[in-house]
Structure 1
Amino acid sequence: MSRYTITVTGHDRSDPEAIIGYDPPLRTFFLQAFPHDVTDDPALWLGTHDQAFETLQHLHDAAVAHGYGFMPLRADVEAKLVEDKAAVAGRAPRGGDLVEFLKTPR
């Protein structure tokens, strides 16, 4: 899993320690920002299920829909994220055949 620090803004606040990355097992880009008031989880956490955001643009659109922004990304971070996804292209989906086998009633 890749993780890069970026700044996320929105709702009259800014998080210069937000995290963007690519999660190979879930085959999705993700974004985590702003400490939650009660839990250890981020208050903003996008990309928590399989293939949630296949492109950075889809992730950005979801952030905007929630009232947040993180664009433009630094060119080196954007390039590295694209490389991170490409490096695991063709990898079997999370769980793969074993999960399907275990789901089948015997």
Structure 2
Amino acid sequence: MSRYTLASIKPGHEVVVGWDPPLTTYYGQVFRENDVILWFGLNIDEIHDVEKAVALLSPFATVPAYVLTQLIADRAASLDRRLGPAQLAARAFIKQNQ
């Protein structure tokens, strides 16, 4: 799993983005103090398009080119890897409870 912290354009906000191989989705999170403002990428195969993830985060942060490049590489690298038993079990559990 990758995770990159972005500089927020809104004071007091923490913004992160990454690729989650077991869920095969990009994810993003925006927090303000202890409150979750935005959280996407919680479901299996939710977001495969990095531009969609960037667009969802755009009200809160700009994704630098080097992070965008790394996100694309993170996804590409994970597509050739097999999931382990724990990851497969987690996927099955999530599918049953969606």
TM-score (norm 2): 0.68
Name the count of aligned residue pairs: 88
Secondary structure at 1:43's aligned position in 2? strand
Counterpart in the other structure of 2:39: 45
Q: 2:88 aligns with which of 60, 78, 95?
A: 95
Q: Does 1:84 align with 2:71?
A: no
Q: Which has the higher contact order (CA 8 A, sep 6+)?
A: 2
Q: Compare the two structures and name the one with the higher strand fraction.
A: 1
- Hey, what's the Cα distance between the residues in 1 that align with 2:66 and 2:27? 17
Counterpart in the other structure of 1:22: 19
- Hey, what's the Cα distance between the residues in 2 that align with 1:43 and 1:36? 10
Match for 1:6: what amino acid? L
Give yes or no for contact 2:29–2:40 (8 Å, CA) kept in 1: yes
Q: In angstroms, what is the RMSD of aligned CA positions? A: 2.7
Percent of matched pairs sharing the same residue: 27
Aligned-pair CA distance for 1:92:
5.1
Q: 1:34 aligns with which of 31, 36, 40?
A: 31
Unaligned runs of 5+ in 1: none
Unaligned runs of 5+ in 2: none
Q: Deviations over 1:15-67 (max 9, x none)?
A: 563111000011111111123656xxx32111110111101112234446xxx
User: Which structure has the larger Rg over C-alpha atoms?
Assistant: 1
Q: Compare the two structures and name the one with the higher helix fraction.
A: 2
Give yes or no for contact 1:6–1:17 (8 Å, CA) kept in 2: yes
- Hey, what's the Cα distance between the residues in 2 that align with 1:31 and 1:88? 18
Q: Does 1:55 align with 2:49?
A: yes
